[in-house]
Amino acid sequence: MPSAAGEADVGNRTRGRRDGGAPRVGLLSLQGDFERHRETLTALGAASVRVSLPEHLHDLDALILPGGESSTMLRLLDATGLRAPVEAFVRTGPVLGTCAGLILLSRQADRLPAPTLGVIDITSSRNAWGRQVHSFTDSVHVAPLGDDVQGVFIRAPRITRVGRGVEVIATYGGEPVGVRQGVAVAIAFHPELTGDHRLHEWFLRDVAGLALQGRAGGSQ
């Protein structure tokens, strides 16, 4: 069950800024690649908020779970008291998980020290696209964009099962590498590393329903 603080944070979240200011997007900042996400959010006119304590979730419009090391991130969620309020947020609020963030959002995943957040009905396999030395960049088709983007795969997870009610939004070599269920989106690669902001813009505008002051522009 979520803590009282977690329940309060979810209750205070809005989908748009009633004061006319920039949308507030949280970046889970316990470990991993959150700085490049911050740069993308800034380019799109959103305000980024580093989330490392429960109180940082207050009044957020959306949340991003970045790449990193999923085992470490799960341990730190427990150590910082963030697990319950983050679970409460992602059950109803817009969330984007990339690479390790996809693992955290999965219903099932292998070889982890604690349960995942489980909000997207998929099964993921850690590092299944290969070790660090097997990292690669290639074109990925993203259906909501009607176009390809450059996908950077670094120790990327593989989606081995897609449940009913889950929409596949991105494919590579005929395999799903991006999924959506409700307002939760998970991507196996790193869109923040390419300078192409269209996936973030789509998530914030079309999934989270937020008004942005900037635009991603065309393909890179």
Among this protein's residues, is 141 annotated catalytic? no
Number of neighbouring beta carbons within 10 Å of residue 204: 27
E-strand ranges in 82-135 read 95-98, 106-109, 120-125
Exactly one of 190, 197, 200, 201 is catalytic; which is it?
Answer: 190
Exactly one of 192, 197, 200, 201 is catalytic; which is it?
Answer: 192
E-strand ranges in 165-205 read 167-172, 175-181, 184-187
Q: Of all residues in the chain, what percent are helix, strand and coil, respectively (each to 5)?
A: 30, 30, 40
Sheet holding 62-65: strands in order across?
47-51, 24-28, 62-65, 95-98, 184-187, 175-181, 167-172, 136-142, 147-153
Among this protein's residues, is 190 annotated catalytic? yes
How many angstroms separate the Cα of 186 from the Cα of each of 55, 162, 170?
24, 12, 10
Question: Could you tell me the sign of the dihedral formed by the alpha carbons of 63, 67, 70, 74, in that order?
Answer: negative
Among this protein's residues, is 58 annotated catalytic? no
Exactly one of 56, 99, 200, 201 is catalytic; which is it?
Answer: 99
Relative orientation angle of helices 70-79 and 83-92, to the nearest 10 degrees: 110
Residue 102's contacts (CB-CB under 8 Å, 6 or more residues apart) are 124, 157, 159, 186, 187, 188
Catalytic residue set: 99, 190, 192
